[in-house]
Chains A and B, each alone.
Chain A
Amino acid sequence: MSAKTRVAVLEGWFTLDESTPHLLGTQCASCGTYYFPKQSTFCRNPDCAGERFEEVKLSRTGKLWSFTNASYKPPEPYIAPDPFVPFSIAAVELEKERMIVLGQVVTGVSVESLKAGMEMELVLEVLSEDDTTQKLVWKWKPGSGGKR
């Protein structure tokens, strides 16, 4: 299966470094506000006139703010495997960026094993695939131990 091309499901939203992936955001050069998804035109801080942004890798670990799961198949444009396998979803607080980022939890982790405040780490998994291409998405994995 390694012959398949691996691409990001949303191009430019995260690095494809599979051992230590990062979400890709931007940072306002004037006030330091981070943006995910990327903002590259005008800063949204009402006190900031910033128009210059630098692309930054966001912290790849954070603390679990809240969590849930998807017991039913989401509608399009979600592409679900058939039969649908329920998945967990996490909201993770990034300390340095002072923001909360949503994402699926890695396959096989149910809500019973999650607890607010847990350390979570960013990983990549295949979201959907066809005969030639695998589309990767970021997911949150409980427990850190990974590199920042």
Chain B
Amino acid sequence: MPSPGAIGDAFLANYRRLFRETGITMEESVLGFLLGSFGAYLVAIFFVYSRTFQQAVYPYAVALKSTPLIAIAPLLVLWFGNGLFSKIVMSALVAFFPVLVNSAKGLTAVDPEALDLMKSLSASRWQVLTKIRVPNSLSYLMAGLKIASSLAVVGAVIGEFTGATEGIGHLINTSSYYLETPLMFAGVFMISLGGILFFGLMAFLERKIVFWQEPAH
């Protein structure tokens, strides 16, 4: 176990590299997060309008969720190479499920009287979607995005562990190889800081976007 001083020294000696590698991992996480959440929200919208589609897709989503990411990571590296893209895909895969489940709930858990109101106004499906369902889903969506933001970072790091030439996971892996424990700690510290900032950004956006809702503690 290295002393805080040793970790501090390792940080000062390598801070350029640490920031660069963390930046790469965060870039993968954010891109994967965006890809996964955007895809999940679209799928959730289709769920609202087609039960058949939902019943067809949901088991696969659950199966994907139940498969340990570490088990499919080598496969993804094989398919998508050991560059950024395989990590983005991995982040997207883990971000997908919480956003899907939450958004599907938020799009359907609408006050039945609000639907009656829209029907009494002869509103189109599109109007019901844009004026009722989507705004109603935002609080659920944001809850899903908070979970997904942390998971996306995990996904990217696992990807880097499996096969990468850069990124904080790669840095931790190689410093483990050379027994540079203080640098490993500095790397862990950096990426958890990145994860916390990402999560914090989502929590901030939640308060801004879902302003009408008291934050749940």
Asked if chains A and B come from one complex, the reply is no
Chain B residues near A (Cβ < 8 Å)? none
Chain A residues near B (Cβ < 8 Å)? none
